[in-house]
Amino acid sequence: DLVETVAERIRAGGREARAMAADVSVKAELASVAEAVLAWRGRIDIVCPNAAIFDSSPLVDMSEELWDRVLGVNLKGVFLTVQACAPAMIRQGYGRVVATSSITGSRTAIAGMAHYAASKAGINGFVRAAAIELAPHGITVNAIEPGHAMTEGAAPGYDAGFLKAVEAFIPLGRIGQPEDIARATLFLASDDARYVTGQTIVVDGGVTLPEYPPYPRA
């Protein structure tokens, strides 16, 4: 229902859009979606693997099932999405892959999020290897590393006090918005980034920069 709502908003703006559903951890479902897109549009130019889950659990209590589920969606999902779409991009000699990684795992860590950190760090390694393999076919592969962002999924975790504390630690003084992440993704998906591949762009308002916690803001 949510993706169909987004598709309706896009169509209302005069664009074409179609909503499709799949479990990104299941190869056959993603292959089916890729086939449906090719039947509809005849090509696949841009793919943005973005699905993620982040259930928290202490390391010593974390079940194998939870570990597998988080890595299945967050990391395996990226692999399967790219694998499903890459053949079409190779045939047409053009493609843009922009995955959603995170500063968590690649640059920072959070207690209780070992599975999430491993999955996001894994995306960065996958991006570099895939970029080398797909470059001869005119395909770039990059990723975005968001910091704190007020997405619909993250919003319930930010009460007023926590939000104030987080924003005090961000050099730019505010939490990120989905549009901040989208604009960086748009750059990597565009021909402005035609000579950029195997890279990640940190979009975090500078939160990973300070060596020490900042002084309280006036």
Catalytic residues: 116
Q: What is the DSSP letter of 88?
A: H
Burial class of residue 165 in the structure, from the number of CB atoms within 10 Å of its CB (0-12 exposed, 13-18 middle, 19+ buried): exposed
DSSP percent split of the chain into helix, strand, coil, nearest 5: 50, 10, 35
Distance of CA 33 to the CA centre of its chain: 19
Angle between helices 27-41 and 77-92 (to 10 degrees): 30
